[in-house]
Amino acid sequence: MSTLLRALRIVRIALRHRLDTFLEHTALAPATRLLRPFVVARPDEADASRGERLRLALQELGPLFVKFGQVLSTRRDLLPTDIATALALLQDRVAPFAGELAEAEVEASLGKPIAELFARFERTPLASASIAQVHAATLHDGREVVVKVLRPGVAKRISDDLDLLRLLARAVDRVHPDAARIRPLDVVAELERALRHEIDLQREGANASLLRRNFADSPDLYVPEVFWSHSSERVLTLERVHGIRADDVAAIRAAGIDPHRLAAKGVRVFYTQVFRDNFFHADAHPGNIWVDTSRAENPRFIALDFGIVGSLSETDRFYLAENFTAMFARDYQRIAQLHIDAGWMPASLDLEELTADVRTVCEPYFSRPLSEIALGEVLLKIFQMARKNQLTIQPQLILLQKTLLNIEGLGRTLDPQLDLWAVAQPVLADILREQRRPRAIGRRLRAQLPGWLKAAPHMPELVHRYLQQAVHGDSSLRLRSEDLAELASVTRSGQRRTVFAILGAALGIMAAVLHGLEAGGARYGGIPLAAWLLGAGAFAAFVAAWPRRR
């Protein structure tokens, strides 16, 4: 019954805010027209935009729907720009729960009395949101901390609201003409994943700990220390920090800090997180980014709230870096080719047509002064172009693009004349140059070597099995390159030559790695393993190169 009443309340609030207009031209439109006369629309929203009406409705529905709107606002590849912009304004502020309940939760989670854990614990919270609230406290050694405590019953409330959202998503999936692209059930699944992560405060603590380690002793970013002895899945204790919101330019100037220098640091910190560490703070709005006022001569940022972080696959990170480099060079064909190679655009697209589309998107931006160009906006337009081609960009890339918009917006707030390209280009170039050094390549090879060695004993059997299949005509070769398509008709002898060529190259690479790591590896018969592998590779290459009989 409670679920039914909750569903009816959602319908009533949606009609009050005239959200039925979103369902025009769908199978639900007749039903909403029948219900409309029974609910009075809000007269103060007569001239409000659709995005504003949706934002107000979500706020009225409650904290979890506010969180849903916040997550949805990051999916600018799925939403029209006006709606995504309106949802980004949602404020996650709710009435606090009683301090006594917070104390009880801390004691239950950590298994000790509050007086034993803290010398002082303030019952009045510093801040309160839909998932948790934060209390000031002092440890027995005198260090000041903040204690983040989950709301009582929040997991049950999340589960109930997610059940309702799934029902709504299924309805949209059945009736909306563009459901295949929007994929409402996937959006709800993404929301569920984000919320499950947010209510695991131990996960947030681990995020903070890793970010702190990545920027240890950094002059650019400070991350508060996590006190694991006072933390659990439902309680997180962090070092208390003090600073100014990063968008309060007047206070920053009053503290004797140069906002221009600070703006450039913010851009460098972002690119360092993404391309050096592959771990970035993905909720970098000004409320979560402060400025340390104790270092006026060499200012740095302070990061807060680590519930939302991002990382990219090595492939996506490579293609993203190459895309940025191509954007700096205005090489539109290179950008188009990279998007196809990365799988961000359908491979069936014509390269010249896609190049023209990229030029159409990018050229209006590049005609502006450099101080007015924002990479985040350019990426957004390109992702929207992918949406028109019925391709949904991966959520992590959208999260990165949203974070880039936040960082660039903050940079322009601090310094309206900031040349983002001039700041970002050398940082990106240095990071890419470092990653391409032989030492960095060697580190990556060493990381992969255990997997290769684990698979090595099985290689002779697999090669033997494949050769048997090739001899009897049972094997098939799947090729992706059009330039190699003609090899599909090679004879069984030709297949054997291919196998031996690949085997020779693989053995040669393994020999080089072993030689570089430990002067040839283990010895058999007095001869280093690397030499045995190199000899076997040379023999395989000789067999591959031997002329075929006609």
Q: Residue 187 burial (CB < 10 Å; 0-12/13-18/19+)?
A: buried
The pLDDT of residue 238 is 98
For 104, counting Cβ atoms within 10 Å of its Cβ (0-12 exposed, 13-18 middle, 19+ buried), the class is middle
pLDDT band at 404 (very low <50, low <70, confident <90, very high): confident
Closest CA to 259 of 271, 273, 247: 247
Rounded to whole angstroms, the Cα distance separating 474 from 64 reads 56
CB-based burial label for 242 (10 Å; 0-12, 13-18, 19+): exposed
What is the average per-residue pLDDT within 456-470? 70
Nearest CA among 288, 282, 290 for reference residue 397: 282
- The one-character DSSP state at 5 is H
Give the lowest-confidence range in 366-380, 425-439, 506-520. 506-520
Which amino acid is present at 473?
G
Query: Does the pLDDT value for residue 275 go beyond 80?
Result: yes
Residue 523's pLDDT is 54
Residue 490's pLDDT is 44
Burial of 58 from C-beta contacts in 10 A (0-12 / 13-18 / 19+): buried
Least confident of 6-10, 56-60, 152-156: 6-10
pLDDT of residue 433: 77
User: What's the predicted TM-score (pTM) here?
Assistant: 0.70
Q: Which of 301, 286, 264 is nearest to 88 (CA)?
A: 286
Identify the pLDDT of residue 481: 45
Model confidence pLDDT, tens digit, residues 79-93: 777 887 888 777 666
Separation of alpha carbons 261 and 299, rounded Å: 8
Please tell me the predicted confidence (pLDDT) of residue 392.
Answer: 58
55: left (phi over 0), alpha (psi -120 to 50) or beta: alpha
Amino acid 488: pLDDT: 46
Structure tokens at 195: 């919320």
SS3 assignment for 466-503: HHHHHHCCCCCCCCCCHHHHHHHHCCHHHHHHHHHHHH
> For 530-549, what is the mean pLDDT?
54
Mean pLDDT value across the chain = 78
Q: 392 by DSSP, 3-state: which?
A: coil
Count, in order, helices (H) and strands (E) of the chain: 23, 13
Query: Kind and range of the H or E element at 175?
Result: helix 154-175
Q: In the prediction, which pLDDT does 479 show?
A: 44
Q: Smallest Cα–Cα separation from 533: which of 438, 449, 474, 475? A: 449
DSSP single-letter state for residue 287: G
- pLDDT bin (cut points 50, 70, 90) of residue 368 is low
User: Are the C-beta atoms of residues 139 and 118 closer than 8 Å to each other?
Assistant: yes
pLDDT tens string 219-272: 999 999 999 999 999 999 999 999 999 989 999 999 999 998 898 899 889 989
| Mean pLDDT, range 371-383, rounded to an integer | 71
Q: Which residue has the tokens 């009395």?
A: 113
- Residues in the chain, overall count: 550
Specify the higher pLDDT residue, 522 or 134.
Answer: 134
Distances (CA, A) of 186 to 64, 96, 192, 395: 17, 32, 10, 10
Query: Is 67 or 512 the better-scoring residue by pLDDT?
Result: 67
Contact 264, 298 (CB under 8 A): no
Q: Which of 28-37, 109-118, 365-374 has the lowest mean pLDDT?
A: 365-374
The answer to whether residue 514 scores a pLDDT higher than 60 is: no
Q: In this structure, are residues 358 and 378 in contact, taking their beta carbons and an 8 Å threshold?
A: no
Which pLDDT score, from 0 to 100, does residue 78 have? Answer: 62
* Joined tokens for residue 291: 């400025």
Percent of the chain surpassing pLDDT 90: 23
The whole-number average pLDDT for the span 527-540 is 57
Q: What is the pLDDT of residue 483?
A: 42
Q: What does the pLDDT look like over 295-311, one tens digit per residue?
A: 888 889 999 999 889 89
Note the pLDDT of residue 77. 57
- Residue with token string 């090879």: 445
pLDDT band at 154 (very low <50, low <70, confident <90, very high): confident
Report whether pLDDT(467) > 80.
no
Q: What is the mean pLDDT of residues 516-533?
A: 54
Nearest CA-CA partner of 273 in 231, 306, 242, 239: 306
The answer, yes or no, to whether residue 486 has pLDDT greater than 50, is no
Q: Where are the alpha helices (DSSP H) in 244-369?
A: 249-254, 259-271, 314-329, 332-341, 351-366
pLDDT at 30 over 90: no
pLDDT at 491: 42
Listed residue (479, 491, 496, 472) closest to 544, CA to CA: 496
For residues 399 and 311, is the Cβ–Cβ distance under 8 A?
no
134 versus 198: the higher-pLDDT residue is 134
Angstrom distance (rounded) from CA 480 to CA 477 = 10
Of the candidates 265, 320, 314, the one whose C-alpha atom is nearest the C-alpha of residue 289 is 265
CB-CB contact of 418 with 249 (8 Å):
no
Share of the chain above pLDDT 70, in %: 72
Range of 5-19, 96-110, 155-169, 350-364 with top mean pLDDT = 96-110
Residue 97, pLDDT above cutoff 80: yes
Beta bridge partners of 289: 303
Q: What is the pLDDT of residues 324-334, one digit of tens each?
A: 888 878 898 99
Tokens read off for 131:
């998932």
Q: In angstroms, how far is CA 432 from the centroid of its own chain?
A: 20
Catalytic residue list? 283
Determine the pLDDT at residue 170. 84
Q: What is the pLDDT of residue 185?
A: 79
Crossing angle of helices 351-366/375-388, nearest 10°?
Answer: 150
What burial class does residue 34 get, using C-beta atoms within 10 Å of its C-beta: 0-12 exposed, 13-18 middle, 19+ buried?
exposed
* Averaged pLDDT for residues 57-66: 78
Q: Helices 438-455 and 492-518, interaxial angle, to 10°?
A: 120
Q: What is the b/e burial string over 512-541, where b = at least 16 CB atoms within 10 angstroms of the residue's CB?
A: ebbbeeeebbeeeeeebbbbbbbebbeebb
Per-residue pLDDT band at 466 (split at 50, 70, 90): low
In the predicted model, is pLDDT for residue 106 greater than 90?
yes
pLDDT at residue number 3: 63
N-terminal to C-terminal alpha carbon distance within the chain: 81
Please give the pLDDT value at position 487.
Answer: 41
d(CA 307, CA 198): 5
Amino acid at 175: V
Query: Among residues 381, 327, 332, which one has the least CA distance to residue 353?
Result: 332
Contact between 305 and 286 (Cβ < 8 Å): no
Q: Per DSSP, what are the bridge partners of residue 221?
A: 301
Q: What pLDDT is attached to residue 177? A: 66
